[in-house]
Amino acid sequence: MTTGHFRTPSGGRIDRSRPLRFSFDGRSYSGFEGDTVASALLANGVHLVGRSFKYHRPRGIMGAGPDEPNALIGVRRDQGRYTPNLLATQTELYDGLDAVSQNRHPSLEKDRMAVNDRFSRFIPAGFYYKTFMWPRKAWDRLFEPRIRAAAGLGIAPSESDPDSYAQRYAHCDVLVIGAGPAGLTAAMEAAKSGAQIILCDDRAAMGGSLLAANQVTIDGAPAARWLAGMLDSLAGMANVTLLPRTSAFGYYPHNWIGLAQKLTDHLADAAPGQPRERLWQVRAKQVVIAAGAIERPLVFPDNDRPGIMLADAARTYLQQYGVEVGRKVVIVAAHDNGYRTAHELKDAGIDIAAIADIRGDSPVAARARQAGLRVLTNAAIDGTTGKLRVASITLTSGGKRETFACDAVLMAGGFTPSVHLFSQSRGKLMWNEDLQAYLPDQSAEAERSAGACRGHFALDEALADGAEAGRSAAEAAGYPFRPAIIPLACAVAHPVGGGGHIGAAPTSDPSRPKAFVDWQNDVTAADILLAAREGFLSIEHVKRYTTTGMATDQGKLSNINALGIVAEATGRTIPEVGLTTFRAPYTPISFGTLAGRARRDLLDPARITAINDWAIEQGAVFEDVGNWKRAHFFPKNGEDLHASVARECLAVRESVGIFDASTLGKIEIVGPDAAEFMNRFYVNAWTKLGVGKCRYGVLLREDGFVLDDGVVGRLAPDRFHVTTTTSGAARVLGMMEDYLQTEWSDLDVWLTSTTEQWSVIAVQGPKAREVIEPLVQGLDLSPDAFPHMSIADARICGVPMRLMRVSFTGELGFEVNVPSGYGAMVWQAIWERGQAHDMVAYGTETMHVLRAEKGFIIIGQETDGTVTPDDAGLAWAIGKAKPDFVGKRSLARPAMTDPDRKQLVGLLTRDPRIVLEEGAQIVAPAAEDRSIGHVTSAYHSSVLGKSIALAMVRAGRARLGERLEVPMPGGSIAVDVVAPVFFDPKGDRVNV
């Protein structure tokens, strides 16, 4: 096991009393509690952590936070728990952590695909668009498979994710995003007003830049002590919720913010069953964005070797983690943070070989020289050497070219404010010429930015800006005004401000191509210049052509430099070039977090009836109908669908069957104008429907097409029991309410859904009456007293019942409605009574076959939103004398009465064994290239001993007796057009 040779003897916020073992690519290392994988690897001298995406160049750790482009790792806990594409800079170390690098074969040190780098001049930006165009056939067989094999980042886990993920909605007065200096003072000032505060930060420890603050005092106390006191105070306030390890990944309209909180990834042993992550959906009255700023790298030749990293990252590794990123360091700077870093590293005993400032002389340069540091000004950066780690850098200054041996190069290009979330909120950005940065300008939401993310880089400014933002946010959220606090007194040894460089850094050798702009997608300055030469002017086009900024880091480091290069190449200013769109998520989040509890059985509600458990016990096979689970068929003794349905159908026709129709929509329509409402809404005439009688109702949309159907019973002059299709229940009720509330508010009538009040037990077949009669109380079921299409309230098995004598099978039938809490009990009672008559339980498939034998349509099967009542053979249902009903006017449009419209017919295959495919097209023998219709339903009828089908065929009713063809891949199937009623056409069987 390698120990941490690059660990300082003391300092940092790690717990040196708690060593942790971990492995990377199979090799064992140690680190400390408080380390990230990145800091622990660096402590062991490991910079090489990955291979680049396109050229497979060796890459090292560049950053210390969410901006890291290179250090993507996979972490494996067990077979089912492998997470790819984690940032090593944000992955907390735990004992036994097992990490692997990505995008290399067979190893990081020897990578076969590194050959891409040698051919890089042949694969510039747009290479794919230009190259893989010809021959066409090669794309499918050769190019695409090869490209696909080479593409992709990380390896997807092979097992289903065993972890659980939680979600929570939250509401607060002020959400503060980021717990750096500005975020902390914002949260504190807002909290003092009594407002409800949520403060989130994506790191394990709150404090942001203060975690690495050295030689800094606030209010006379060292920064670390001030921070500890601040966090203690916030934690002690009942109105403050602190969410560490929580990334604000998306800013959505009306101050709706998505937070992804990591709960167990940092633990070696999480309690079993506890969620791994939690999605917070926060609705905040006011938001304070204190997201900080990200240091820019410099674009110079070969700026991607391991050991070349951001200056502030090196400073953070030293101050927060006690890690030296190198022993001999060169700093390339376009910003004062290079000097600050140099001073702090030098104080820690690290050799600073040189500071190369691309700017001219300055007081900070002079001060560095006084401190004994070598400073080159007006420097050009000509290149670096080193295979798996940087070994030297060549610089030109004052006409003199010089090569410095080193094991780390630190880049300080200036800071880019993190305006991602502000921009996601649709706030308008404004270019600030002094700071050389886009800053938040006009807010679109109840939101304000504070601190470095709006250009207040200096600590005292950030603290004061945060305090004011918190105070004003609380005030805007409705909490009493309080004066702003006096700004805190700060002493900072090496203050830094704005400025810096954007674009390619000066180099005396511009011909060298590998000056990287986007490390993760391997985009170089030359690629961007090529795009500009080829005429791509819009930055959005440059982005897509070169893929800069399109990797998982979303261009946190690269976008602004790419803008600078485009601006220079096209002779425009940066604001003239514009900006690409910032999109959520700010950093990648897991699918698990987004899915939350909505997985497996809870993916979607499984609606179950009161009879569901009985059907499961009977071995029913279920199907999904919308959200409902419905018994599809009830196989016995290993029957398949076909055998089971054949048996079920015969039993219903010969004796009796029982069917769970509870999912049918039911609406009770009550009020003196109930009949008038029904007249206006359905095509049928309702005025004369007697109390205790039922009628089949047809409902159209206003465009004249059939929307729904169902049996309607009249319970009283002012009360109707309306049934709808299962899937139409909510739609029909919604449409009824729409007309009542917005068009016919004059009507005294009200609607109440009773879908789930009733369990509906359909008892169908010649023996149906014999089965239920002994169980019914208070109702004469004889044919004369209770004929077909009757409805009455009575009792069954001692509980209330609403009985309908209706039939969707063509047999004598009853639908027993009982309050659903009694559904299972009554079902069981009927089932037991039915055994004497060989009753079968049947499912939805048998129901479909039986109704097809009778030519009854099913909404959504025979109809598809373009079928009129006449098309479906339902013109008889229309109340002809009614002046108006929903859809009536549309039926009078010329196209609706065209005799060539598709009409419902029956089809019989010449070969009765062939069952047509639903959806198959139909042609006439004389014109086989023109479809004249389609098959809507097709089954084998065990009762008739042949296959039957329903179809919609042009001018179908005029074609009865015609032979048509159904062309299929294996040849045409000959069919005869017949009337759509195959069984008992006179309907005698329902009237027994």
Of residues 791-830, those binding other proteins (CB under 8 A) = 797-800, 819-825, 829
Interaction between residue 605 and other proteins (CB under 8 A): yes
> How many whole angstroms separate alpha carbon 5 and alpha carbon 410?
20
Residues in the chain: 992
Q: Which residues pair with 760 in a beta bridge?
A: 817
> How many whole angstroms separate alpha carbon 623 and alpha carbon 835?
26
Interaction between residue 668 and other proteins (CB under 8 A): yes
The CB-based long-range contact list for 231-234 (8 Å cut-off, 24+ gap) reads 231/184, 231/206, 231/207, 233/188, 234/184, 234/187, 234/188, 234/191, 234/199
Cα separation values, 116 from 55, 113, 124, 522, Å: 5, 6, 11, 11
Q: Nearer Cβ to other proteins, position 538 or 627?
A: 627
Interaction between residue 601 and other proteins (CB under 8 A): yes
Q: How far is the CB of 37 from other proteins (least distance, A)?
A: 26
Q: Which residues pair with 280 in a beta bridge?
A: 168, 259
How many Cβ atoms sit within 10 Å of the Cβ of residue 895?
9
Q: Nearer Cβ to other proteins, position 161 or 756?
A: 756
Radius of gyration of the chain (CA): 38
Interaction between residue 671 and other proteins (CB under 8 A): yes
Q: How far is the CB of 849 from other proteins (least distance, A)?
A: 26
Q: Which two tokens stand for residue 461?
A: 């400014």
Interaction between residue 273 and other proteins (CB under 8 A): yes
Write the binding mask 886 to 915 for other proteins: x where contact by CB under 8 A, - elsewhere: --xxx-xxx---------------------
Q: Which stretch binds other proteins (CB under 8 A): 497-505, 691-699, 741-749, 848-856?
A: 741-749
Q: How far is the CB of 109 from other proteins (least distance, A)?
A: 43
Contact call for residues 671 and 747 (beta carbons, < 8 A): yes
Binding test (CB under 8 A) with other proteins, winner from 391, 491, 550, 670: 670
Q: How far is the CB of 3 from other proteins (least distance, A)?
A: 36
Interaction between residue 606 and other proteins (CB under 8 A): yes
Binding test (CB under 8 A) with other proteins, winner from 540, 743, 898, 911: 743
148 Cβ neighbours under 8 A, 6+ residues apart: none
Contact call for residues 519 and 557 (beta carbons, < 8 A): yes
Interaction between residue 405 and other proteins (CB under 8 A): no
Q: Coil, strand or helix: which one is 201?
A: coil
Interaction between residue 628 and other proteins (CB under 8 A): yes
Write the binding mask 190 to 209 for other proteins: x where contact by CB under 8 A, - elsewhere: ------x-------------
Q: How far is the CB of 717 from other proteins (least distance, A)?
A: 14
Q: How far is the CB of 685 from other proteins (least distance, A)?
A: 17
Residue in the structure block whose two tokens are 């015609």: 962
Q: How far is the CB of 692 from other proteins (least distance, A)?
A: 18
Q: How far is the CB of 81 from other proteins (least distance, A)?
A: 19
Q: List binders of other proteins among 278-317 (CB under 8 A).
A: 281, 283
Q: Nearer Cβ to other proteins, position 530 or 736?
A: 736
Q: Nearer Cβ to other proteins, position 12 or 887?
A: 887
Interaction between residue 272 and other proteins (CB under 8 A): no
Residue 819 is inside which H or E element, if any? Answer: strand 813-819
Q: How far is the CB of 706 from other proteins (least distance, A)?
A: 16
Q: Which residues pair with 658 in a beta bridge?
A: 763, 841
Contact call for residues 440 and 429 (beta carbons, < 8 A): yes
Q: Nearer Cβ to other proteins, position 702 or 838?
A: 702
3-state secondary structure 103-165: CCCECCCCEHHHHHHHCHHHCCCCHHHHHCCCCHHHHHHHHHHHHHHHCCCCCCCCCCCCCCE
Interaction between residue 428 and other proteins (CB under 8 A): no
Interaction between residue 610 and other proteins (CB under 8 A): yes
Binding test (CB under 8 A) with other proteins, winner from 23, 392, 753, 931: 753
Q: What is the secondary structure of 29-56 as a DSSP string?
A: EEEEET-BHHHHHHHTT--EEEE-TTT-
Interaction between residue 164 and other proteins (CB under 8 A): yes
Interaction between residue 162 and other proteins (CB under 8 A): no
Q: Nearer Cβ to other proteins, position 494 or 629?
A: 629
Q: How far is the CB of 694 from other proteins (least distance, A)?
A: 19
Q: How far is the CB of 597 from other proteins (least distance, A)?
A: 5
Binding test (CB under 8 A) with other proteins, winner from 17, 158, 442, 742: 742
Contact call for residues 295 and 311 (beta carbons, < 8 A): yes
Interaction between residue 748 and other proteins (CB under 8 A): yes
Q: Which amino acid is at 251?
A: Y
Q: Which amino acid is at 857?
A: I
Q: List binders of other proteins among 677-716 (CB under 8 A).
A: 702-703
Q: How far is the CB of 62 from other proteins (least distance, A)?
A: 36
Contact call for residues 667 and 684 (beta carbons, < 8 A): no
Q: How far is the CB of 892 from other proteins (least distance, A)?
A: 7
Binding test (CB under 8 A) with other proteins, winner from 370, 581, 637, 745: 745
Q: How far is the CB of 271 from other proteins (least distance, A)?
A: 7
Q: How far is the CB of 754 from other proteins (least distance, A)?
A: 6
Q: Which stretch binds other proteins (CB under 8 A): 367-375, 750-758, 803-811, 847-855?
A: 750-758
Q: How far is the CB of 248 from other proteins (least distance, A)?
A: 16
Interaction between residue 971 and other proteins (CB under 8 A): no
Burial 278-300 (b: 16+ CB within 10 A, else e): bbbbbebbbbbbbbbbbbbbbbb
Interaction between residue 152 and other proteins (CB under 8 A): no
Q: Nearer Cβ to other proteins, position 2 or 757?
A: 757
Peptide bond between residue 495 and the one before it cis (omega within 30 degrees of 0): no
Interaction between residue 741 and other proteins (CB under 8 A): yes
What is the distance, to the nearest Å, from the Cα of residue 638 to the centroid of all Cα atoms in its chain?
A: 41
Q: State the DSSP code for 301.
A: B
Interaction between residue 758 and other proteins (CB under 8 A): yes
Write the binding mask 229 to 258 for other proteins: x where contact by CB under 8 A, - elsewhere: -----------------------xxx-x--
Binding test (CB under 8 A) with other proteins, winner from 9, 483, 535, 883: 883
Q: How far is the CB of 593 from other proteins (least distance, A)?
A: 14
Q: Which stretch binds other proteins (CB under 8 A): 428-436, 603-611, 842-850, 901-909?
A: 603-611
Q: Which stretch binds other proteins (CB under 8 A): 267-275, 473-481, 515-523, 964-972?
A: 267-275
Q: Which two tokens stand for residue 816?
A: 């027993």
User: How many residues of this chain bind other proteins (CB under 8 A)?
Assistant: 76
972 Cβ neighbours under 8 A, 6+ residues apart: 923, 928, 965, 966
Q: Nearer Cβ to other proteins, position 704 or 813?
A: 704
Peptide bond between residue 585 and the one before it cis (omega within 30 degrees of 0): yes
Write the binding mask 372 to 401 for other proteins: x where contact by CB under 8 A, - elsewhere: ------------------------------
Q: What angle, 0 to 180 degrees and rounded to 10, lies between the N-to-C axes of helices 525-533 and 539-546? A: 120
Please state whether beta strands 758-764 and 657-660 pair in parallel, antiparallel, or not at all (unpaired). antiparallel
Q: How far is the CB of 715 from other proteins (least distance, A)?
A: 11
Q: Coil, strand or helix: which one is 568?
A: helix
What is the distance, to the nearest Å, from the Cα of residue 671 to the centroid of all Cα atoms in its chain?
A: 45
Contact call for residues 92 and 120 (beta carbons, < 8 A): no
Q: Which two tokens stand for residue 294?
A: 């990200």
